[in-house]
Structures are given as C-alpha cells and as structure tokens.
Structure 1
C-alpha cells in the first residue's frame, strides 16, 4: 500500500489506473495513415480519469486498482498522490507490470485504441479486498458510500460485485470502459443501486441491436430491467432514465480537440453534481457542460 489520506474518502473509484499514451493530430486519419502529430503520456485509465475529475470538483476519491511495483508503477502512484488521490488501497503486485492504454486520435475522432489492462484482470479479487475484508467494508458491515466502477474488471468479478453483500448498500456508478467491454456490465444491469453510464453504441451491444437515438437505447435498457441508466451520444442528446422517467438534454456545440477521457469526465461531473445534492436536470446539464469543455480542450487533460 502507498499514499495516505487523513480523512475518509468521499467516493471509491474501482478499475483501471494506468498510463495513457495518446497520439493526436488535427489531420483526418484512416487505416495506414502516417502523419505528423503529438504523442503524450499521462496518468489515465477509466477509474483514474473519473477520480481526477472528481478531485477537480472538490471531492476526495480513493483508488482501488492494481499497479505494478515497477518503475512505471512507482511514477504513477507518485503522480496520483500529487493530485490528492488516495492510493492506500491499491493492490501493488511484484509480478505484474503496470497497465497501459494507447490511442490514436485524428481530426475525425478516435482512429484506434488498445487497452492493456491485463494486470488488473490478473489481480482479480485482490483489488476488492479492502471492501470485502476491511478496512473499507465487509460483507457483514458493507460500505454504504458512492463507488465508481469500470468495466476493465473481468465479467466474473463484476458478477461477484453484483451478488456480493459487501456492495449491497453502495451507490454504484458503473461505466463499461469501452464498447468492447460493454457486455461485461450485464450482471450489474439490474442491480437495485446501480446507475449505468454508457453511450449509444455500448447500449446496442448490451441489447444486441442498433439504436438510432439515445432515447430508444435508454428505454430498451429500462425494459431489460435496468434500475437507472444514462446514455450519451456524442454531440447528440444525452438521456437519463430511471423511476422518475426520461430526461433528455442536448450538449453544447463545441470544436472537438480530443476524445479520450470525455466519457469519464461526463460521468464524474454527473456524480459530483448528484453527491452535492444538485437537482436531476441541473446535474445532467453540469455533466454535459464539463464534457464539452473537456473535448474543446478548455479543462485539464
């Protein structure tokens, strides 16, 4: 365990904590293109992206993940600590390397990406030990705060979370991490305390169909037994569906300068607003505004 925090965290962020290697160019790209651009390496991963945004909203997040004891892992833990994120509960493996994510973004959006989260998957339930066997909670005394959870965990582990009494009282906020991992969320879809954040494509993969709008996607997920869902669709409408009905909002129009991390920013901003007691419609507006500022390059990467 590394890092420290004197106060109890406001929210736990469970999932990928890794290095993002992002290549960006303003030029349009297709398969086989070779163009000038900029390559950056930044702390990333869905759980970490969410935690960083929550921190900017004044919350105190704690990370639960797997990070290697290699040089990249030490550097990553130090970066997280400098940002004010609690790393005490991260599983540090001597045998597993620190995970990485690599993406290419062109003027036409995300061209391709690879997520190497094999160490997180290999760590398995060791990542959840602080919630299952203390110090954050146990099955007998479950954690009752907010948890942001990403789909980089294995389907088996997500299924265990869906069934475990240790998570029965938590305010679960769940994201698939990528379209390729959307189906991993199926065990959590009907969890009575889960809010599922996903885009229109990911909703289609879960429902084995293709939706024309976020509204249709949200309705289909509720029909499948989802407790609460928030479906985004890029620059088109975002829809919140729950027991109170459907709430639809259109994001601000901005010039897109980056894509990776936008969904995580949206989710974190929405969580922060709701934890602050913001009204349902205003919370969705705040999330859309934060995501728009992010993709326009007006907020920190």
Structure 2
C-alpha cells in the first residue's frame, strides 16, 4: 500500500517527445528520409509529477491537451500511476503539445520543434472557477509553460498553498520575474537564473551572488543547479554548495526534473529541512542519470534514501 508523504499539485506541460534521425546526410530545406528512434512521454510538469508519484506522494496534474489520441494517452498514462488528472483540460479542436527532435546522420541535433500552443489556453478564465479546489493542495509546483498572466494570477491567489517555481528554460523563466516576492521555493539552473538576475553564473561565488539577489527580491528558499558541478542552496539558515553525487552516467536527460521530484518529495513534508531536501534531490538526479530515459520506473524510497546519505555540503 502506498502511503502519501506529501500532497502536491503540478501545473504545466504533459505531452510526447519524438526523436527522428536522418538515414542519409541531412539537407536543409529538403525532404530527408528518417527513422524514428523513440516516442515517449515528456513535459516538465509531467516528468516531476511521475517521479513524485513513484515516490509515494499524493499528486495531481493541471494542464491542457488536445482532443486527439496523444491527449488521451497522456491522461491515461498519468491516471494509471494514480495521479489525479481531473484538472487536465481537453480542449476541443486543439492539438496536444509535442516536441520533435530531428538528428542528422551523425546523431547531432539538426532541428528541434516544439508545439506548445495548447498551453497558452491555460488562461485565468479557464482556471478561475477551480480556485477553491486548487487552494486545497498544500503545495503547487508550477512550470513556466503556463502563460505569464496565469502565473501572476496564481501567485496572487495561492492562499495558503506553497508556490514552487520550475523555470523550464531561459526563454520562459522571465515569466516568474514579476512574482518573485510571492514564490516560496525557486529551483532553477544557472542559465535561467541569469534571466531573473542578470548575473552570469559560471562559478559557485556567482551563484551565491545571484541567490542573494533573488532572496532580496522576496524568494524565501532558492536552489541553483550547476549541472555536473553540483548545486547551491540557500534558506534562512545560510547558503551552501553541494557537490554532485558519484554517478555512473548513462543518460542525463530528465535529471534536472528528477531533482525537483526528490527535493519536493522531502521538502513538502512537515518539519523537512533544506539539507535533507537537497540530499534527496541530488539522489534522484543521480539515479535518473544512471537510467536510460527520463523516468526511473523501478524507483524506491529506500534507493533514494541510500543514495542521499552520500550528499554533503560546504557552507558559503
């Protein structure tokens, strides 16, 4: 029996990612023969929600899909895991979002295409009558695929819910800039943090400076991920650098989203500490990087706790 550890509502993207590869030399502006390498579920909100659920949490997803086969499959796959999908909107006449990557004959990205138009319809008008139900969730994980106006409205109307921001990409991170003083937890990478602070982050000291600025703007708790270098975290008890955990890297795709899941699965529990949450976030990122694909389907809480024991910090 799964015992819920936290109650988290994830807002954002849930779709399919497709990867194609050219079977002959890639020629721009021409028809290129390709083969399909894979088609798999994707989307930041979806990726985080799935690992949260696999860790035993009570999870719901708010998003949008089209009235098509992809949309039906997205909802069905989440429902089968026990994720509450009642707040995923099926929009008539719209297409479910999707990312398509076309690799050239050597395996390098030749073209990437993201159709995310359906998320633009997650408007205030669409969500307003659901607000009491949304506020019943103690934690909101909101990814930046939502429109900026909707993010601002949610920030203004979060009530007693805690607001965790997932910045998604540099181009979308700016959507959180007007509401930094209403964000309870910000987890972002260095490129996205630069958009919010204007600070180029290549070294740990620069991450610390960016965090100080973000906290001055009102964000209570901040984590900046530095990829293979580790993470820098900050709360009222101080700022610290955390080296990455020893990892036999197989596929780093999804490791960043997995950090959110491990962190929130811990941090959303009463009495949780920043140190424990960062340790479990690093553990989830490490386990995911050792897995082919973005999801650790055989995930256990014991595996996360065991890996997290190797995490340590250096106060800054």
Distance 1:211 1:236 in 2: 12
Q: Which residue of 1 aligns with 2:273?
A: 279
Cross-structure match for 2:314:
none
State the distance in 2 between where 1:268 and 1:92 align: 26
Q: What's the offset of the Cα at 1:201? A: 1.0
Identify the range of structure 1 (251-260 vs 171-180) with the bigger mean alpha-carbon deviation.
Answer: 251-260
| Cα distance in 2, alignment partners of residues 16 and 127 from structure 1 | 16
Between the aligned partners of 1:94 and 1:274, the Cα distance in structure 2 is 37
> Measured at CA, do residues 38 and 258 of structure 1 come closer, stay the same or move farther in structure 2, by a change above 3 Å?
farther
Where 2:38 maps in the other structure, the secondary structure is strand
Deviations 1:100-156 (A, max 9, x none): 123478999988744321101123235534642x4x15xxxx435111110001111
Instruction: Answer whether contact 2:7 2:268 (CA < 8 A) is retained.
Output: no
Distance change >3 Å, CA 108–CA 94, structure 1 → 2: closer
| Distance in structure 2 (CA, Å) of the matches to 1:112 and 1:201 | 21
Cα distance 1:183–1:126, how it changes in 2: closer, same or farther (>3 A)?
same
Against the structure 1 CA distance between its residues 225 and 23, is the aligned structure 2 distance closer, same or farther, given a 3 Å change threshold?
farther
Identify the residue that residue 39 of structure 1 maps to in structure 2.
37
Partner of 1:19: 16
**Residues in 2 aligned to 1:171 and 1:113: alpha-carbon distance in whole angstroms:** 34
TM-score by length of 2: 0.78
The whole-number CA distance in structure 2 between the counterparts of 1:110 and 1:280 is: 37
Is 2:287–2:296's contact at 8 Å kept on the other side of the alignment?
A: no
Check whether the contact 1:64–1:87 (CA below 8 A) recurs between aligned residues. yes
Residue 55 of structure 2 aligns with which residue? 57
Q: How does 1:248-263 map to 2 (within 5 A)?
A: 248-263=241-256
Write the distance in 1 (CA, Å) between the matches of 2:18 and 2:63.
Answer: 19
* Structure 1 Cα separation of the partners of residues 48 and 139 of structure 2: 13
Equivalent residue for 2:198? 208
**Aligned partners of 2:223, 2:108: CA distance in 1, in Å?**
22
Conservation of the 8 A alpha-carbon contact between 1:63 and 1:87? yes
The CA distance in 1 between the partners of 2:155 and 2:139, in whole Å, is 15
Report whether the alignment pairs 1:182 with 2:163. no
- Tell me if the contact between 1:274 and 1:283 (Cα under 8 Å) persists in the aligned partners: yes
Where does the alignment leave 5 or more consecutive residues of structure 1 unmatched?
A: 1-6, 25-30
Cα pair 1:91 1:126 within 8 Å, conserved: no
Show the counterpart of 1:3.
Answer: none
Q: Does 1:145 align with 2:138?
A: yes
Match of 1:224 among 192, 195, 217: 217
Taking the aligned partners of 1:112 and 1:59, their CA distance within structure 2 comes to 37
The farther-off stretch of 62-71 and 103-112 is 103-112
Q: Please tell me the root mean square deviation across aligned C-alpha atoms, in Å.
A: 3.2
- Listed one character per residue, the Cα deviations across residues 212-231 of structure 1 (whole Å, up to 9, x for unaligned) are 23333322322333222111
Aligned residues: 280
Taking structure 1 as the reference length, the TM-score comes to 0.81
1:290 corresponds to 2:279: no
Say if 1:171 and 1:259 are closer, same or farther in 2 by CA, change over 3 A: same
